[in-house]
Amino acid sequence: GAGVSQSPSNKVTEKGKDVELRCDPISGHTALYWYRQSLGQGLEFLIYFQGNSAPDKSGLPSDRFSAERTGGSVSTLTIQRTQQEDSAVYLCASSLKVGGGTEAFFGQGTRLTVV
């Protein structure tokens, strides 16, 4: 597609439920990133995928968070047993490669509200 696409744009869920957030990167981009933007913590890195390499999960805040990238393209971020502190905007980005300061292109984000 023309840009990074994320769905849904908004999600309201009840505390304790699982949610899945989807990211469709720019075609041909081998690197994909997830970030979280919240009022208290600003913009935080969560995880990134580069080709077939093992993902860098160093930013995931707890084991309730996981992500996968199927076929080197679409990625799904899953949050299990959601908590109110998970409420945030989840941003996905993609880039042609990792390293060398390669520009990352961001999607419009998924606003998650846990009630």
Partner 1 sequence: AQKVTQAQTEISVVEKEDVTLDCVYETRDTTYYLFWYKQPPSGELVFLIRRNSFDEQNEISGRYSWNFQKSTSSFNFTITASQVVDSAVYFCALAKAAGNKLTFGGGTRVLVKP
Residues lying near partner 1 in the complex (CB under 8 A) are found at 31, 33, 35, 42-45, 48, 56, 58-59, 89, 91, 93, 95, 98-109
Give 19 or 93: the residue with its C-beta nearer to partner 1. 93
Closest approach, Cβ 87 to partner 1, in A, equals 15
Closest approach, Cβ 106 to partner 1, in A, equals 4
Closest approach, Cβ 50 to partner 1, in A, equals 8
Helix, strand or coil for residue 63?
coil
Give 12 or 16: the residue with its C-beta nearer to partner 1. 12
- How many whole angstroms separate alpha carbon 86 and alpha carbon 95? 26
Give 20 or 105: the residue with its C-beta nearer to partner 1. 105
Closest approach, Cβ 99 to partner 1, in A, equals 6
Q: Which residues pair with 97 in a beta bridge?
A: none
Q: How many residues does the chain have?
A: 115
Extended strands (E) in the chain: 5-7, 10-13, 19-24, 31-38, 42-50, 65-69, 75-79, 88-95, 105-106, 110-114
